[in-house]
Chains A and B, each alone.
Chain A
Amino acid sequence: MSEAVAEGTAPRPHRRLPIPPVVPMIVALIALWYVAAVPMNIKEALTQVERDGAVVSPESAVERRDMSNWALVARNPQHIAGSWATARPRLPAPHVVVEELYDSTIGEEVNGRRGLVRSGSLSNRSLVYHGLVTLNATFVGFLIGAVLGVALAIGIVHSRVMDMSVMPWAIVSQTIPIVALAPMIIVVLYSIGVQGLIPKAVISAYLSFFPVVVGMVKGLRAPDGMQLDLMRTYNADARTVLQKLRLPSSVPYLFASLKIAIAASLVGAIVGELPVQRGGLGARMLAGSYYGQTAQIWAALLTAAALAAVLVGLLGWLERKTLARMGMQT
C-alpha cells in the first residue's frame, strides 16, 4: 500500500476479457475437430458412398477393414467431405453436433409434437427438459454439500478430535470412484423408499462437500497469529472469533471452493442419472450410447459443459459482488 493512495478512492483497473486470443484458439480447436473426424469416420463414409454408387479404393470391404484409417483417407481424398456427413459417425463433425443441439432444444420445443409450443409443457425429448432435471438435482446437491462442507470445516477448525477423525474419512470418501458408488447409493436409498431427485442430490452432495471442507478449513485458518492474538487481547470467545474474524477471512476461499463444488455437483447429478434412466442429461448420454447416436451424446455433453460454465460464471459474479461489498479487492 503506497503513500500515494492516501486520498480516498484509488481507481480500480477495469477487467477486460481477452477476446482476441480466445477466438483463434476456438477456431483452431474446431479445425482440429474436423480433421480428427476424417479418419474416425472414413470407413463408414466409404461404405455409405459405395452403396450410393461411387467408386472407392480399394473396392473390397474386407480389404478396407484391415487398412489403417489414414491410409484410406490418403487413397480416397475425394470422399473426405463424406466423412463429415455419415449417418452414424464415430466422431460427429461440429456442425452435426450443433444441428443436433438445435434440433433437440429449440427445434423440438417449437416444432415437436410434444414441444412447448404445441403441448404447453417441455418435451421429454428436449435437452431443455433434461437440462432442467439435472439442474434441479445439481442445486439441491450443491446446497446440501456446501452447508455440510462449511459445518464440517467449522467443526474441524474448532475441535482437534474432529480434525483427526473427520478429515481422513473425507479424503477416503473421495478416493472411491463415484461411478462405482452411485448405483449403491441409489439401490440403498430405493430400498428405504427414497427415489427420484433425492438420490441424485445425495450423490451430488457427496462430490461437492469435499472441496468446500478443504477450502473452508484453509480459509478459517487463514487469520495469522497476530490477528488471533489481537482477538485474545480483547478476551473474545471462540464464537466471536469465528463470527468476526474467521468467517470473513474465509470468504475468498469459500467462493473458490464453491466454484469447484458446483461443477462437481453437476457431475454427480449426471452420474446419478446414468443407472436410473428417468430423464436428465446423464440419461440422454447413456441413451445416445445405447443407440449409437454419438451426436446426441455430444449435444448432451455440450449442454452439460455450458451449464457448468454458466453456474461457475454465476458464482464468479456473486464472488466479485460480495468481495466488492466487503471492500476487498479481487
Chain B
Amino acid sequence: MQSAAAQSAPAPQSAPAVVSARNLFLTFQTADGPVNALSDVTLDISKGDFVSFIGPSGCGKTTLLRCIAALETPTGGKLTVNGMDPDAARKARAYGYVFQAAGLYPWRTIGGNIRLPLEIMGFSKSEQEERVARVLDLVELTGFEKKFPWQLSGGMQQRASIARALAFDADILLMDEPFGALDEIVRDRLNEELLGLWDRTGKTIAFVTHSIPEAVYLSTHIVVMSPRPGRITDVIESPLPRQRPLDIRDSPEFIEVAHRVREGLRAGYEE
C-alpha cells in the first residue's frame, strides 16, 4: 500500500492494488448542514496487506470502510475494488464484512449462521457442509456447530462472525472494530489468532480500530486519520516482521511505531 505522498513502493509491494482510492470525498447532508465525512482521501491497498485505520470518532475510518464495501457512496473522487466499481465488487462478492457486533442470528445455530451467506449465494448442500467445517476449524470453533449463539461467549461469537465472513472465500476482509466490545484478554487472543489466520489465508484485510496497540500489533500499514473533515494524516509502514508473537509489543520497534501513531493522532487534533 502507498499513500499518495511520495512513499515509493518497496519490493514486496509490487502486488497490484486491491483497493484504490483517488481524491475521495463524502459529504453527508444532515439537518445541521453538510458534514464532511471524507475529504481528499487517496490510498492504495495492495494484495495481502493488513491495513489498519485508526483515529478518533468522526474521522471517517468506518465511513471509508463502508465506501469500500459499497454500503456508502462517495460524493467525489474515484474508488475501485479489485479494479471494479465498489458496487460491482460487492455484487461479485469480493469481500467479507465483520461488524462491531457479532450480529449472529439468534434463531440459527453457529453452523446455520455461517451457512447463511452460502445459502444465499447458492452453494450446494455438500459444499456448504465442507466450507462450514473448514472455517470453523480456521477460527478454532470446531465442535460448536450445533450450538446457538446465546450459548457462546462474546469472543466466541465474534470468532463465529469472522468465520461467516470467511466462508465464501472473498479475498478481502473488511473489519469494523470487530473486537471493540471485548475485554483486553480476549482481544489479545483474538488479535493473535487473526494474525495467524491472515498469514495462513493470504487475505487482504482492512481493519478499523481505535486502539493504538491493536493497530500496531496487527498491521503492515497503519493509516492515521483525523476528524472535521475526515482525512488521512499519516500512513505508517510497519517495520515489524510477518510473524509476531504477543511479546513483540515490548520491543523497541513496536514502541517506536506506536509513538509515531500517537504523534500522528495528536497532530490531527492540533491542526
Contacts and interface: CB of A to CB of B under 8 A. Distances in A.
> A and B: partners?
yes
Interface of A: 1-6, 8-10, 226-227, 229-236, 240, 244-245, 248, 251, 326-329
B153 A1 contact: yes
Interface residues of B, number: 34
A328 B95 CA distance: 30
Contact of A245 (B91, B99, B100, B105): B105
Given A230-B97, A233-B90, A236-B120, A328 B106 contact: yes
Given A233-B90, A248-B107, 7 more contacts: A3-B153, A8-B147, A9-B151, A229-B97, A234-B117, A244-B116, A244-B119
B229 interface: no
A321 to B, nearest CB: 14
Nearest to B174: A233
A233 B116 contact: no
Contacts of A229: 71, 97, 99
Q: A2, A4, A251, A327 — which one has the most chain B CB atoms within 10 A of its CB?
A: A327
A57 to B, nearest CB: 71
Nearest to B109: A327
B180 interface: no
Contacts of B52: none
Contact of A1 (B91, B103, B109, B157): B157
B150 interface: yes
Contacts of A233: 69, 71, 90, 95-97
A244 B120 contact: yes
B5 interface: no
Contacts of A251: 107
A183 to B, nearest CB: 45
A48 to B, nearest CB: 64
Given A226-B101, A240-B120, A5 B93 contact: no
A1 B154 contact: yes
A328 B149 CA distance: 9
Contacts of A1: 149-150, 152-154, 157
Nearest to A3: B153
Contacts of B103: 226-227, 230
B257 interface: no
A327 B107 contact: yes
Contacts, number: 74
Nearest to A230: B103
B121 interface: yes
Contacts of A234: 93, 116-117, 120-121
A3 B99 CA distance: 20
Contacts of B91: 235
B156 interface: yes
8 contacts: A4-B153, A10-B150, A226-B99, A227-B103, A229-B97, A233-B95, A326-B106, A327-B109
B148 interface: yes
B153 A6 contact: yes
The 5 closest A-B pairs by CB, nearest first: A327-B148, A326-B107, A6-B153, A3-B153, A233-B97
A230 B99 contact: yes
B151 A3 contact: no
Nearest to A251: B107
A251 to B, nearest CB: 8
- Count chain A CB atoms within 10 A of each CB in B91, B95, B107, B147 and give the residue with the most: B107
B151 A8 contact: yes
A328 B107 CA distance: 6
Contacts of A6: 151-153, 156
A227 B100 CA distance: 11
B148 to A, nearest CB: 4
Contacts of B97: 229-230, 233
A39 B115 CA distance: 70
Contacts of A326: 106-107
Contacts of B150: 1, 5, 10, 327, 329
Contacts of A4: 153
A291 B116 CA distance: 64
| Most chain A CB neighbours (cut-off 10 Å) among B93, B108, B120 | B120
